[in-house]
Amino acid sequence: MSAETTASTTRTARPQEPGKARATIGAIVLVVLVIGGGFFSNAQWSKFPDIFTEGGRYFYLMLRGIVQNPFSEPYSEYWVQAFNGMLESISMAWIGTMIGAAISIPMGFLAARNVSHPALVQVTRVILNAIRTLPELIFAIILLLPIFGFGPNAGALALGIGAVGTLGKLTAEALEGIDPGPVEAARAAGAPRSAILRWTYWSQVLPEVLAFWLYRFEINIRASAILGVIGAGGIGSVLSQAFRYREWDFIGILLFVIIVVTVVVDSVSGAVRHRIIAGTGKTDKDIDTEPVGL
């Protein structure tokens, strides 16, 4: 016994390697899924090399569009159209965010467990989840086009409805996370229910909720481009039009404007968000609950 102990101190046995069976099975399943996916997607893989043969040429054409003198015809017209489209997209995104924010406030209160009745909470959450499940495009198609026709107005409303799902859920979660102290104090002082909601609940979540709204605005800018493809106006409509006619230099200018404006708006909005939530103990990561691009 003692001999054995001394032996193991001089030369400790290497611990057994943990089993890899689970990881191996997982890897095999994944490979099968990916190969199956490659097959069942009906993708024409034979066209894959076209990216390299055609891609370089198109990329060159796009770059050429950007570097042309922007004051010469037809490039001045391209730049004006690109900026107008982008302005329209941003407006759509802004109005959509405003609509979503306005509707999400009551929805958020109704969906917060510490505010409203349990049955109401359940009902509201089901509605919010249903909205979150469906992409904005569906709202635009189903409800808005028949009534509002094609155009940015329908787009803004679709973005607004789409935003209610996420914003309502995040507002409810923020409300559930508040410090109950002020609520008790207000109640003890005999404040009416409306005053309690306004001055203890709402005051505590306001910075966070504002940050959510701004974040949603950033998401909506991208989403508005998506809606443009079905004819909701904005840069998306201009872009799909340009693709239809294969005007590569115009496409280059459009993509350039989208990238620059999005990056600028993102960083301004990000800085404002950062300033708003400074001191609330929240970080940017708490706000970026879903990555931009939905």
Partner 1 sequence: MTVASPAPAGVARPKKPAPSRFLIAGLAVTAAITVWAAWEIDFTLGPLFENFANGWVVVEQFLRPNWGYLDNAWTAWLETISIAIVASFFGVAVGLIFAYMASNVTNRSTRLYRLTKWFLSVLRSLPDVAYVLIFVALVGVGSLAGILALFIFNIGIAAKLTSETIDAVDPGPLEAADAAGNGTFSRARWAVQPQILPNFLSYALYIFELNIRSSVVIGYAGGGGIGYLIQVQFARFNYENVSAIVISMFLVVLLIDQLSQYLRRRLV
Q: Does 80 bind partner 1 (CB under 8 A)?
A: no
Subset of residues 253 to 292 that bind partner 1, contact rule: CB under 8 A: 255, 258-259, 262-263, 266, 285, 291-292
- Decide: 76 and 254 in contact? Cβ < 8 Å: no
> Of 256, 254, 225, which Cα lies nearest the Cα of 78?
254
- Pick one of 30, 67, 80, 268: the residue that binds partner 1 (CB under 8 A): 30
242 CB-near residues (< 8 Å, 6+ apart):
250, 251, 254
Q: Which letter, b or e, does each residue of 113-124 get, where b requires 16 or more Cβ atoms within 10 Å of its Cβ?
A: eebbeeeebeeb
Q: Does 115 bind partner 1 (CB under 8 A)?
A: no
Q: Does 130 bind partner 1 (CB under 8 A)?
A: yes
Determine the Cα–Cα distance for residues 111 and 58; give it in Å rounded to an integer. Answer: 50
Determine the Cα–Cα distance for residues 155 and 178; give it in Å rounded to an integer. Answer: 34
Structure tokens at 288: 């970026």
Question: CA 141 from chain center: how many Å?
Answer: 20
Determine the Cα–Cα distance for residues 133 and 63; give it in Å rounded to an integer. Answer: 38
String of contacts with partner 1 for each residue 227-256, x by CB under 8 A: -xxx--x--x--xx--x--x--------x-
CB of 117 to partner 1, least distance (A): 25
CB of 222 to partner 1, least distance (A): 4
Footprint on this chain of partner 1 (rule: CB under 8 A): 30, 33-34, 36-45, 47-48, 50-51, 54-55, 58, 87-88, 90-92, 94-95, 98, 130, 133-135, 137-138, 141-143, 146-149, 151-153, 155-156, 222-223, 225-226, 228-230, 233, 236, 239-240, 243, 246, 255, 258-259, 262-263, 266, 285, 291-294
